[in-house]
Amino acid sequence: IIHPLIASRKFEIKALKKRLFDLIGEPFGQKEDLIDRLKKILREYASKSSIFKELIQNADDSGATEVKFILDKRYLRNDKTFCNAFNVLQGPALLCWNNQTFSEQDLLGIKSLGKGNKMSNLNKIGRFGVGFNISYHLTDCPQILSNNDNYIIFDPLCKHFPNLELTNPGCLIKNTRTKLKDSIFSDVYSGFDLNGIELENSTLFRFSLRKTDSNISTSVNSFGVSVLISEFLNKESKTI
């Protein structure tokens, strides 16, 4: 049995040591810059057309039985978006739809830069971590809407979404029906609202095409994506 006074003194010593450490030291942990990591992934997956194969693999990983790619050439309204800087994302985009929703594990795995969260399941071939990040060949800000309920945006440059920090450059918005569709941000939701695309019980990725070179990768336009689609169909579709 420890006397309460002794326990209290031990706590005081620990607190004193912590304050002393704060005075004599500074954070100096090893880490990797996010943009540098993304560039490394894009160098390792140099073929931009590999994005199609990776997204199909990810869909298979989640148990989806159907995948659709859509080249959305629309220029969407931008009166009701998150901020003016977001409006550049309201132009042409590559969309990828599949008939499966995100699980809680998927929500964690999609944030990974190294490897997916499902490596232990040998029946699944997708790897969200590396594979999904090939999308940065095309966009600076991947957006996702799953089950018409969970909206995700990643903004590594912290340029297009308000109040982001480099240590956590993204946002998850749940209950998108009320927080996006029927709100002052409804133009953001319109990027996922297409005829013939069911948003319930499915997941839709939106990769707004990069208009100018950025610190992540080079620009790409609708014609360039059309070429990538043809390249994928001609060279890689038979391997899937």
pLDDT in tens, the chain (240 residues): 545 455 455 556 656 656 665 666 666 666 678 999 999 999 988 888 889 988 998 898 889 999 999 999 999 999 999 999 999 999 999 999 999 999 888 888 888 765 444 444 434 434 455 778 999 999 999 999 999 999 999 999 999 999 888 888 999 999 998 899 989 999 999 999 999 999 999 999 999 999 999 999 999 999 999 999 898 888 765 555
Q: Burial, 112: exposed, middle or buried (Cβ in 10 Å; 0-12, 13-18, 19+)? A: middle
Which residue, among 200, 136, 192, 146, has the nearest Cα to 173 in the 3D structure?
146
Segment 56-71, tens digit of pLDDT: 988 988 899 999 999 9
> How large is the angle between the packed helices 50-62 and 222-235, nearest 10 degrees?
70
Count of CB atoms within 10 A of residue 123's CB?
Answer: 8
**pLDDT score for 104:** 85
Residue of 182, 178, 205, 169 whose CA lies nearest to 70: 205
* DSSP per-residue codes, 114-167: S--TTTT-TT----IIIIIGGGGGT-SSEEEEETTTEEEEE-TTS-SSTT-BTT
Taking the C-alpha atoms of residue 229 and residue 93, their distance in angstroms, rounded to an integer, is 13
What was the pLDDT predicted at 25?
A: 62
pTM of the full predicted structure? 0.82
The tokens for 218 are 């080079």
What pLDDT does residue 26 have?
65
